[in-house]
Structure 1
Amino acid sequence: MNVSGKLLVAVPALTDPNFHQAVVFVIEHTPDGSFGVILNRPTELAVGDPLPGAAASEPAVVFDGGPVLREGALAIGRAVPETIGWTPFASGPAADIGMVDVERALTVGWPDMVALRVYSGHSGWSAGQLDAEVAEDGWVVAEASAADLFTPTPEDLYRVALERAGTAPQLSRFIPPDPSLN
């Protein structure tokens, strides 16, 4: 199953600190591997600190996109077609969402964006790894919406995505962000 453009929602039992209660937007899923970004991990670092001129959506902070290449920046934006410095995703929740060329933006300026989210790092899987994790029920696959990518309340996204996927909706309301507090 190709999960490009979909959400991966960590099952409540997943305790790996990199992905505990994570909601990942899968940017690309191919036989050679997969990558995406965690949508619900805002940091305290304001986007404008490392990336001057970037007008990010609220909350206007850098998000922790995952454990791979945390020193790099990746940006997802919502724009009108033909925007220079922006490449739409081949598949996904909306044709007006895609990757922003961060290097170009730092050199010649940020493109005009309807919405923008910046990530430090990303999540990645080798060939067949993600398929195996989904088959072993490590992740629940859910449809993504454009609103998920730019939500002003990322702290609610885990519960919302679990409910959308139909996974124990009656229980998802009671899952604490930190199970040790239970």
Structure 2
Amino acid sequence: MRSIPALLPALFLGLALFAANATSIYAHPPSYSPARPQQEIDALDFSPAKGKFLVASRKMKDPIFKSAVILLVDRNNLGYTGLIVNRPIMKLKDYNVKGPGGDDPLFFGGPVEVSNLWILVRSEGPSEGCNQVLAGVCVSTSQGLLMNNMNAGAGPQKFRVYAGYSGWAANQLERELANGGWHLVDADAEVIFAKEPGEIWNELVPAETR
């Protein structure tokens, strides 16, 4: 895949510049809500894990993550990796991804490494080169798998493409959860591949916080 074309929308270019200045691949803006004592955080069990949704709370002030719904796709000793699933930004062909399905949407996955593409694939079983995230959904960065799905005419109901990802260092996400920045919700394939991604946040954010 080529790097970001010169004529992308201003917002996307701004996000690319933000990511370029990150000091780590696990980059994230500072906490946006009042800090709680560490002992209080340690006493809470938020259990963020692969296959969960992070739903931005009303307290979210960071414009990148405001009203975002993020699927956590990986957890390891370095922290967490996730993809924003409700932020379509352009068509694939406008990102210079050529082939059938060029009119399918490209999503903004997060502010880290926005020149790299990730894909979520709807799969009923194990798929080579695609790591299972939850039942019926796997994640990959394989260009070959991307082109195979496009050439097969899979469409956005079967696979979706994301530019960049969202990342948290060890204990960073737990702290943000403790400070009320996110709601933790079980992920669901039907939601990830929803026809109207713009409605996902409204459907998932707890009613009492709307």
Q: TM class, shorter-chain normalised?
A: 0.7 to 0.9
- Gap regions ≥5 residues in structure 2: 1-46
| Deviation at residue 54 of structure 1 after TM alignment | 5.8
- Gap regions ≥5 residues in structure 1: 173-182
Coordinate RMSD, CA, aligned: 2.3
- In structure 2, distance between residues paired with 1:65 and 1:76: 11
Larger of the two Rg values belongs to structure = 2
Match of 2:91 among 39, 42, 46: 46
Q: Are residues 127 and 148 of structure 1, via their aligned partners in 2, closer, same or farther at CA, if it must alter by over 3 Å?
A: same
C-alpha contact (below 8 Å) 2:78/2:169 kept by paired residues: yes
- 1:26 corresponds to 2:66: no
- 1:104 is aligned to 144
C-alpha contact (below 8 Å) 2:80/2:170 kept by paired residues: yes
- 1:7 is aligned to 53
C-alpha contact (below 8 Å) 1:53/1:110 kept by paired residues: no
Equivalent residues, number: 158
Matches within 5 A, 1:52-71: 52-53=98-99, 55=101, 60-71=104-115
TM-score by length of structure 1 reads 0.77
Q: Are residues 47 and 141 of structure 1, via their aligned partners in 2, closer, same or farther at CA, if it must alter by over 3 Å?
A: same
C-alpha contact (below 8 Å) 1:74/1:118 kept by paired residues: yes
- 1:115 is aligned to 158
- In structure 2, distance between residues paired with 1:141 and 1:126: 17
C-alpha contact (below 8 Å) 1:134/1:140 kept by paired residues: yes
Q: Percent identity?
A: 28
Q: Are residues 136 and 31 of structure 1, via their aligned partners in 2, closer, same or farther at CA, if it must alter by over 3 Å?
A: farther
Q: Per residue, is there more helix in 1 or in 2?
A: 2
- In structure 2, distance between residues paired with 1:31 and 1:82: 24
- In structure 1, distance between residues paired with 2:53 and 2:126: 26
- 1:147 corresponds to 2:187: no
Q: Are residues 102 and 54 of structure 1, via their aligned partners in 2, closer, same or farther at CA, if it must alter by over 3 Å?
A: farther
Letter of the 1:120 counterpart: A
C-alpha contact (below 8 Å) 2:117/2:163 kept by paired residues: yes
| Deviation at residue 10 of structure 1 after TM alignment | 0.8
Match of 2:202 among 145, 159, 174: 159
TM-score by length of structure 2 reads 0.67
Deviations for 1:44-73, whole angstroms, at most 9, x for unmatched residues?
Answer: x212443223648xx821001111111111
| Deviation at residue 105 of structure 1 after TM alignment | 3.7
Q: Are residues 14 and 27 of structure 1, via their aligned partners in 2, closer, same or farther at CA, if it must alter by over 3 Å?
A: same
